[in-house]
Amino acid sequence: MPVTGHTRLFGIVADPIAQVRTPQVVNEHFERQGFDGILVPFHVAPPDLPTFVAAMRAMRNLGGFIVTVPHKTAMVALVDRVEDAGRLTGAINTVRREADGTLTGTMFDGVGFVAGLRAEGLDPRGRRVCMAGAGGAANAIAFALAEAGVARLTIANRTAKKAEELAARVRAAYPGVDVAAGPAVADGHDMLVNATSLGLAEGDPLPFDVSTLTPGAVVAEIIMKPERTPLLAAAEARGCRTHYGRHMLDHQVRLMADFLIGGR
């Protein structure tokens, strides 16, 4: 659709930015809906995030923006209101600019990730899951996996305290689920989830020790570019079922777009 003076503006803020697929996917969604809007990438480093948010408040034709690595947790303190999903996880990935210039944030990563699994025939219910990461996306995914009824959730993170704190919060919300911090290993789990940024850059270490992976296990990513990360390649070499990062975005696009458009 042509961009005019009536076009509603949206963005995605990240650092780095080159890996994001969101502009393509959301703009295709806007076009299918016949909505006069466009979403563009904003490359913003962490020290500049408060300045960026202040500028977004002043743009009257801005509908809002999507938030990704590494800003999901920091963004919580910069908006005016946080909906329940964001309060529970302590992170947000979608911010709507209201008509009065205030900002409302929420989180769709968890519901998008679980919906993507189910759409590919990988219901997490009853599975023993090891998830690497304790940041914004990892928080949302941990709560969503617990809500989906996993049998066990092990949370691994380079900073053990963050993994322990996240595990405690998930246990408090879902006392019937076995949740604990632990090492990033395949042994004893039938699903591995990489909810870190490891794999974005060439030469990154693997987020898991994959030496004990067995055929039939599921290995899932949230990274979208490269699509086939070193972790997924290692899992495929061991006969595992792999699940690509694009599925999480594909299944939350409608939710994010509907939330953003709600501010028009």
Give catalytic residue positions.
72
Q: How many whole angstroms separate alpha carbon 89 and alpha carbon 154?
A: 17
CB hemisphere CA count around 114 (13 angstroms): 19
Please list the alpha-helical segments (H only) found in 149-244.
160-173, 230-237
Q: How many whole angstroms separate alpha carbon 159 and alpha carbon 141?
A: 18
Cα separations (Å) of 78 from 74, 91, 101?
7, 11, 13
- Do residues 218 and 145 make contact, with C-beta atoms less than 8 angstroms apart? no
Secondary structure of residue 237 in the 3-state scheme: helix
Q: How many whole angstroms separate alpha carbon 21 and alpha carbon 203?
A: 22
75 DSSP assignment: G
Dihedral, CA of residue 236, residue 19, residue 84 and residue 52, to nearest 10: 160
Q: How many whole angstroms separate alpha carbon 106 and alpha carbon 221?
A: 22
Q: Which residues of 48-83 are buried (b: 16+ CB within 10 A; e: fewer)?
A: ebeebbeebbeeeebbbbbbbbbbbbbbbebbeebe
